Every structure is written in C-alpha cells, then in structure tokens.
Amino acid sequence: MAGKFELYQDKAGEWRFRLKAANGEVIASGQGYASKSGAQGGIESVRRNAADAEVVELEA
C-alpha cells in the first residue's frame, strides 16, 4: 500500500490534511484551512513541490 493523504475537519471547524506512510505513521501534516478547497490546494502544493525539494541542514 502506498502512502495516503487524509483530509478532515478538526474540532474547531478548520480543514486539515495529514500524509500517512504505508505503515500508518503520520509523516506530514498541514495547517488549518478555512475551506475544504484550501486544504485540497495544500495537498496539491505538497504533491508538486515535495519531489524536487532540497534538503537543508540547519545548525543550532
């Protein structure tokens, strides 16, 4: 099974998403959005940008 995005409404009424790995572990989560379409746009942004995203190590 591949990973999956879960789209849901939280207790405050905001729309959120989380990305789960095949083993069910949450590996990313989105901010709260006022609308379902906003959260869906966030998912699309992750899909578009994650594959080519640079890994940057931050120093303390």
Mean pLDDT by 10 residues, the chain (60 residues): 93 97 96 98 95 92
Cβ(17)–Cβ(30) below 8 Å: yes
In total, how many domains does the chain have?
A: 1
**Is residue 4 classed as helix, strand or coil in its secondary structure?**
strand
Q: Tell me whether residue 60 is in a domain.
A: no
9 part of a folded domain: yes
**Residue 6 phi, psi (nearest 5):** -110, 130
Q: What is the pLDDT of residue 1?
A: 67
For 5-52, the DSSP string reads EEEEE-TTS-EEEEEE-TTS-EEEE---BSSHHHHHHHHHHHHHHHTT
Provide the domain limits for residue 13: 4-50
Residue 42 lies in a domain: yes
- The CATH number of residue 38's host domain is 3.30.160.160
Residue 25 lies in a domain: yes
